[in-house]
């Protein structure tokens, strides 16, 4: 395979499996993640544009209670749809008009090659719907039909930039995103990587608190530099516990295993076995990493020995 920009690990299967397992183990519950109805997903995508997801839930449920199918929406008075949009503070009333028009196009079969009442199933055909751009079309194809391309939004760019040192270039982000997404799994993959960017890798990262599944490979976690295309200034990080954890991961990548007193000086130059930053401090760091499944710790011949998990 052609070399990718940045530092994408050679074992891409491990990277994929770790992210999908993390997502499937625990993620935010939004009602549109429990459906594969393209109409319901399109409504959620249009509502979510520039609106916080927490506010979208109630509006989405109210909208679908009033107009449960595309045919119901197409038959509605456009003024009523716009009034609903305004009353729920969703902003940009044109989006309500576009959604209403898209429902009419589907109901009347205006997309070439698609029967009336049926939905286009590819990103290309979904863009034939009024007001549906490439991003929204791909999201509906992914989440409704598992037939989309890799999503590359601001959150995904931030994740790839930090994790794999991908340069701030749209073509580079798209190349890496496509290479990482498993074939035929756009639904779970796009949900998972967007969840990673929205929960663990926000502008202020929560790597350890959210058990980010990519810490083992993450360039930012290793170096402590959490800048990104949408994060122009680096958060205070020098000397933090998170930075030290990253150094442990980085150091153990170079060795099969290390005893505590061999590892310590490689993590902090001021490491002293009985000092403030000594065995007790390092043991606590390793215990946290062990709890997260990133490091294994053994007692051998009276010494504590650490290796990557």
Q: Annotated catalytic sites, by residue?
A: 45
**Burial classification of residue 91, based on how many CB atoms lie within 10 Å of its CB (0-12 exposed, 13-18 middle, 19 or more buried):** middle
Query: What is the 8-class DSSP label of residue 33?
Result: G
Max Cα separation, the chain? 79
**Which of 153, 93, 87, 144 has its CA nearest to residue 121?**
144
Beta strands in the chain (DSSP E): 258-259, 295-300, 303-308
Taking residue 231's Cβ as centre, other Cβ atoms within 10 Å add up to: 18
Coil, helix or strand at residue 304: strand
Coil, helix or strand at residue 27: coil
Q: In whole angstroms, what is the distance from residue 266 CA to residue 283 CA?
A: 14
Query: What is the 8-class DSSP label of residue 128?
Result: T
**Burial classification of residue 209, based on how many CB atoms lie within 10 Å of its CB (0-12 exposed, 13-18 middle, 19 or more buried):** exposed
Q: In whole angstroms, what is the distance from residue 32 CA to residue 45 CA?
A: 9
**Which of 184, 53, 38, 41 has its CA nearest to residue 120?**
38
């Amino acid at each position: 395979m052609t070399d990718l920009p940045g530092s994408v690990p050679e074992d891409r299967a491990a990277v994929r499996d770790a992210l999908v397992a993390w997502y499937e183990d625990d993620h935010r519950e939004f009602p549109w993640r429990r459906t594969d109805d393209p109409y319901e997903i399109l409504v959620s995508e249009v509502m979510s544009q520039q609106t916080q997801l927490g506010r979208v839930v109630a509006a989405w449920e109210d909208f679908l209670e009033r107009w449960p199918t595309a045919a119901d929406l197409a038959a509605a008075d456009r003024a009523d749809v716009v009034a609903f949009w305004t009353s729920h503070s969703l902003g940009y009333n044109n989006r309500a008009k576009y959604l209403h028009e898209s429902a009419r196009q589907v109901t009347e079969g205006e997309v070439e090659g698609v029967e009336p009442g049926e939905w286009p199933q590819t990103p290309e055909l979904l863009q034939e719907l009024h007001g549906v751009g490439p991003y929204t079309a791909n999201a509906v194809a992914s989440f409704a039909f598992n037939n989309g391309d890799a999503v590359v939004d601001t959150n995904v760019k931030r994740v790839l930039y930090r994790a794999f040192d991908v340069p701030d270039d749209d073509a580079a982000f798209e190349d890496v995103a496509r290479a990482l997404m498993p074939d035929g799994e756009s639904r779970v993959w796009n949900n998972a990587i967007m969840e990673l960017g929205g929960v663990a890798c926000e502008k202020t990262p929560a790597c350890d608190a959210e058990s980010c599944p990519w810490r083992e490979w993450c360039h930012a976690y290793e170096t402590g530099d959490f800048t990104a295309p949408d994060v122009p200034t680096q958060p205070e990080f020098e000397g933090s516990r998170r930075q030290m954890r990253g150094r442990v991961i980085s150091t153990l990548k170079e060795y099969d295993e290390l005893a505590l007193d061999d590892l310590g000086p490689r993590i902090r130059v001021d490491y002293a076995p009985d000092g403030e930053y000594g065995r007790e401090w390092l043991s606590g760091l390793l215990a946290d990493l062990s709890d997260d499944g990133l490091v294994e710790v053994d007692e051998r011949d009276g010494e504590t020995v650490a290796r990557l998990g």
